[in-house]
A and B are shown apart, each in its own frame.
Chain A
Amino acid sequence: MSDLSYVRTELLPEQDPPLSEVGVIGWLRANLFSGWFNSILTFVSLVLIYLLLAAILPWLWSPTWNAGSLAECREIIAELGKEHGGACYGVIRERWPQLLFGFYPDAERWRPIVTLIGLFVALAPVLFTDLFPRKMLWFSGAFLFAAPWLMWGGSIWTPVLVAAGLVIGAGAYRLLVPRVGNLAAVIAAVVAPLLWWFLFVGPVSSVLAPVIPLGLEVVESRLFGGFMLSVWIGVVSIAISLVLGVLLALGRQSDLLIVKYLSVGFIEFIRGVPLITLLFVASTLLNIFLPPGTNFDIILRVMIMATLFASAYIAEVIRGGLAALPRGQYEAADALGLDYWKAQRLIILPQALKISIPGIVSTFIGLFKDTTLVSIIGLLDPIGLTGSIRADANWNGIVWELYGFIALLFFLSCFAMSRYSMWLERKLRTDHK
């Protein structure tokens, strides 16, 4: 039987894989032409891409950067003999500062830029917890007060003294807790800063201001416009709505029935109506709701409504974070004998907020995009400005260039933020598995 062995004793020489399975062809076969259905899909996609590019690219290539009006653009394009016309970039060259900064004074434009850079620095320790030292959080805290000062200007003493109110509150709490008990200390810690803000900040700053006259030129909010306005409304609203959102989320999770239903009612009401109706409230009704004689300017009113709007959504995001925490965390906090606020402050919220960050970023992206709605009530955000620019006799009739430029700006910023959010989600997922 041994002569009938079918067992090979030595290995065959290794062969290269067939040419159709490796390299470019192999990749093409595997990814584009694996079967008749995929082949058709690929072919249709290629045709679509070609048609799209053939329509857009020749239009995009258009040396009209220096044109001073649409008529000049048309001349340049006519000289080139382009059939389907071309883009008129002159409008972007002339108007890009306006599209970015609105009517913010030329000489002061460094301020929004510094604020934006400061915003990134301030957010860095919050968003990239392991890359930056925790001490940078002090800068983030200071930035909360510095940013409005940078944007609106005025004496430096106002933000400093307003911030001092918080220090006074914390000091009052520390000082009083051992003497009069927790509750009275909390009340004192709330009342003391309020007294400070309403009664003392004014006189003290008027004493300090002449002594050390540091300040920036005041820029009224009606001068805010363009892309800066969108960013600023988004940032301010989200920053304030974080505080409101946490309170609303806790209220919604609370055992206290009335508190719970008030929170639920507010959240569902805000989430149930379109933002545009809230903006109409800002533009037409808010002045009627406030005491006679109060007169906020429209951008502040929009910020108030945008804050209320965002806080309802943030509350839902944070509620998700609270719900995602394992039950054991709540029980462990109770077992340690912590009272409600201590448990929230030390155990629950730090964890819940951390896992809520991607949701918060998504909410911000949504709100940031929605700030374009203010153009409907006549504010000059980028989309509102397109109308004004087209009313200029030089640029009457321009369409695509402006929309394209604005879309590009929004795309770049929102895309970057959504990538960050996805990255963080991935990171957090591994943390919790």
Chain B
Amino acid sequence: MASVTDSQGGSFRLSMLLYDSRYRSATIQIVALIGFLLLIGWLVNNTVQNLAELGKTVGFGFLGDRAGYDINQRLLEYSSADSHLRAALLGLLNTLLIAVMGCIAATIVGVVVGILRLSNNWLVARIMTVYVEMFRNVPVLLWIVLSMAILIETLPAPSAFRGDTPSASMLFGDNVALTNRGIYVPEPLFGKVDEEGVHTSWRHGIGDLHFFGDASLRFDLSLDLVAILATLIAGLMVSGLIKRRADRVQAATGLRPVTWYWRTGVIVVPVIVLLWVLGLHFGKPELRGFNFQGGTHLRNSFIALWLALSLYTAAFVAEIVRGGILAISSGQTEAAAALGLRPRRIMSLVVLPQALRVIIPPLISQYLNLTKNSSLAIAVGYMDLTGTLMGITLNQTGRELETVLLTMLIYLLISLAISGAMNVYNNSVKLKER
């Protein structure tokens, strides 16, 4: 056989590079590496030549130029006078927002649908099957476009809320407005310092901390939010201490003291007190001029994208959850039933924890898919990274090479971060084998 060689000593011959198994793998690898480097060199050489012919240069200086366009959904303060870099940053934040919200919604809907597909109720199980098949077998781009069309066509325009006999009205005691420009919900506000610097009440917010002056990456950190988070974390830690004490008591005496009200109390009460001190109140949306003003505006493009992405991904998640549950052998369920557990407790205590191990790895790749699919935002005009950096910025500056490669790099980093974080979690829930 060709691969079996007698590796006796003797002088080195050139043919040994190929026929001697000691050198062969090294030879192949070096050839592969050289081939790869040649390929890269070839591509770079072509690019340099082509760019020279087009009279273009490569550089990222354009990121500092004035962007000149507006972005409707701004998680940070931005105006058209800001730089392309800041526009890209806002796009990135919008991408991350839709990815996180989408993953959460997809998980919730997917788990519910996956469990309902196994329901005893014939009708519900069928409806869920129809839902899953409908969403899985039609392109997500079509769903995004369709959900946008549905939102636009079915919800009333703000003008319908106007006049003496409006054809539409706000929901929940004039707190929420569903319009075809988006949904307006009340916005949590903290007590403000008035114009003379005097506090109208002793209850007021702490204010913001500004970072990075005028740079493109500047941002404000709300100290109110930091305070709330800190209180929440402290409460959680105290609650953990109480739990551990209860565990110790149970271990020693066999009786578990009832602590749930303590544990909830130390989390909730300080937060509520803090919110009161900060002067929490809600800004209601009101119809003023052309639009509703005040409140938080969830734009149509965001909702359509969110709905379509999460429902589409949820159909896949549902299948994963169903598969995970079915993968748990029926012996487990029967054993749990024999212990006298009720069906719901069998599900939550026995089946789901085991199913999670089967579910998590494919779930990660669905999260990745959702994040990547969020780049279809441009179809509905949601200004995410593809809409800003690889969209308007590309078009205004004509820097296709830089913008497209930068966009790819950012998405790659996001993907690697998600799969990295999820792998860590995956390892922690993995069955510890002996």
Contacts and interface: CB of A to CB of B under 8 A. Distances in A.
A–B touch (CB < 8 A): the answer is yes
B184 to A, nearest CB: 25
Interface residues of A, number: 61
Interface stretch (A42-50, A150-158, A236-244): A42-50
B175 interface: no
Nearest to B149: A399
A269 B413 CA distance: 10
Nearest to B15: A183
B209 interface: no
Grouping DSSP codes into helix (H, G, I), strand (E, B) and loop, the A interface class, with mixed when no group exceeds half, is helix
A290 B46 contact: yes
Given A276-B376, A291-B46, A32 B123 contact: yes
7 nearest CB pairs, A to B: A31-B122, A272-B415, A414-B137, A274-B372, A369-B139, A274-B375, A339-B3
A332 interface: no
B32 interface: yes
A292 B50 CA distance: 6
A372 B141 contact: yes
Interface stretch (B68-76, B161-169, B189-197, B404-412): B404-412
Contact of A376 (B30, B378, B407): B378
13 contacts: A41-B119, A48-B127, A262-B33, A273-B411, A281-B408, A284-B394, A288-B50, A288-B400, A289-B43, A339-B1, A369-B138, A376-B141, A411-B138
Contacts of B123: 31-32, 41-42, 45-46
Given A181-B2, A274-B375, A275-B372, A288 B121 contact: no
A406 B36 CA distance: 42
Q: How many residues of B sit at the interface, in one of the four size bands?
A: 35 or more
Contact of B376 (A34, A255, A373): A373
Interface string A15-46: 00000000000000011101000100110011
A114 interface: no
A411 to B, nearest CB: 5
B46 A288 contact: yes
Contacts of B4: 337
Interface of A: 30-32, 34, 38, 41-42, 45-46, 48-49, 181-183, 255-259, 262, 268-269, 271-277, 280-281, 284-285, 287-292, 337-340, 365, 369-370, 372-373, 375-376, 383, 399-400, 403, 406-407, 410-411, 414-415, 418
A411 B120 contact: no
B141 A373 contact: yes
Interface of B is mostly: helix
A339 B21 CA distance: 12
Given A273-B415, A415-B133, A289 B46 contact: yes
A403 B127 contact: no
Contacts, number: 163
Contacts of A406: 142
Contacts of B51: 288
A102 to B, nearest CB: 17
B29 A257 contact: yes
Interface in B255-287: none
A407 B142 contact: yes
Interface string B117-144: 0011111100100000110111111100
Given A273-B408, A277-B408, A288-B50, 12 more contacts: A31-B120, A41-B123, A45-B123, A183-B2, A256-B28, A259-B28, A262-B33, A271-B415, A373-B376, A383-B145, A403-B146, A411-B134
Given A292-B49, A337-B1, A411-B138, A400 B43 contact: no
A376 B407 CA distance: 16
A403 B142 CA distance: 7
B107 interface: no
B121 A32 contact: yes
Nearest to B30: A258
Contacts of A255: 25
B222 to A, nearest CB: 31
A365 B133 CA distance: 13
Given A181-B2, A276-B375, A284-B404, A375 B46 contact: no
Contact of B33 (A48, A258, A415): A258
B28 A418 contact: no
B416 interface: yes
Contacts of A340: 3
Nearest to B146: A403
Nearest to A48: B127
A273 B411 CA distance: 5
Given A262-B32, A375-B141, A411-B138, A284 B415 contact: no
A281 B146 CA distance: 27
Nearest to B386: A276
Nearest to A184: B18
B241 to A, nearest CB: 38
A380 to B, nearest CB: 14
